[in-house]
Amino acid sequence: MAQAAAKIELFGPASDEDLADEALRLAEAARVAEALLFAASEPLDEAEIARRLPEAVTVHAVLEQLRADYAQRGVNLARAGRKWFFRTAPDLSYVLAREEVEQKKLSRAAMETLAIIAYHQPTTRAEIEELRGVAISKGTIDVLLETGWVRLRGRRKAPGRPITYGTTDQFLMHFGLEQIGDLPGLDELKRDGLFDGRLPKDFRIPAPSDDPTLREDEEPLEESLQPLEMEFGLEEEEAEPAEESPLED
């Protein structure tokens, strides 16, 4: 009687030696990423880090391993969007605290404008004014641009080709967010007492997205133009009602 043919394993389980080699490659790649991040003067993009790593490893695995290694140390590896950087562990920030001249805070108008841009981006000046119910002064937008939290995205494909605004990686870093989707939703805002429950039945908070790709209803900005000067013309600005200063004393 013929015997059954033995089963042939084309891809057998990895040997201990293979696993050890993989661990060594990952550890060496983590050292390279660590050196790059420490030497960088600003957060590094994943693509830039990946370009310097060996081809046998993935940048995501390397950075997650490095983040785990630093999780309990005095400095942590943090992410904002697709950029990575080292920062002081949050529970040790008091150690490095020092007396400084208190910086002026954003006005309520500027904070409301920033919140609308964060949740509704890409959004235009007219859309912000519609949501707030009042006109925006040029100074409010200027201050938000100067902080580095807001950027000019493009122009809306609509009459007048208004500028569209969005948030930046600096916005994520300042507010301790890894991605724009980490902004609190309606349930979280209610839990924190920011809404009192007397909201319209169909009220909702949009799911924010800071995808840098221009949408179908957007087009690129012209590099040679001064978009803010064009959008906030002198005649239009003089006609606006007065609004509080974007900075508070």
pLDDT in tens for each of the 249 residues of the chain? 555 555 544 445 556 776 777 888 888 999 999 999 999 889 999 999 999 998 888 999 999 999 999 999 999 999 988 899 999 888 887 777 665 545 568 888 899 999 999 999 999 999 999 988 889 887 899 999 999 999 999 999 999 999 999 999 999 988 888 899 999 887 787 776 666 556 666 767 788 888 888 999 999 987 645 545 455 543 343 334 445 555 654
Query: In whole angstroms, what is the distance from residue 60 CA to residue 56 CA?
Result: 12
Q: Does domain 23-94 have CATH number 3.40.50.20?
A: no
**Six-digit token pair at 159?**
């009459």
Residue 141, burial from CB neighbour count under 10 angstroms (0-12, 13-18, 19+): buried
| CATH number of the 105-240 domain | 1.10.10.10
Q: What is the pLDDT at residue 193?
A: 66
Q: What is the pLDDT at residue 225?
A: 52
Q: What is the pLDDT at residue 92?
A: 84
CATH 1.10.10.10 domain span(s) along the chain: 23-94, 105-240
Residue type at 152 in one-letter notation: L
Which secondary-structure segment (H or E) carries 32?
helix 16-39
**Six-digit token pair at 203?**
């009220």
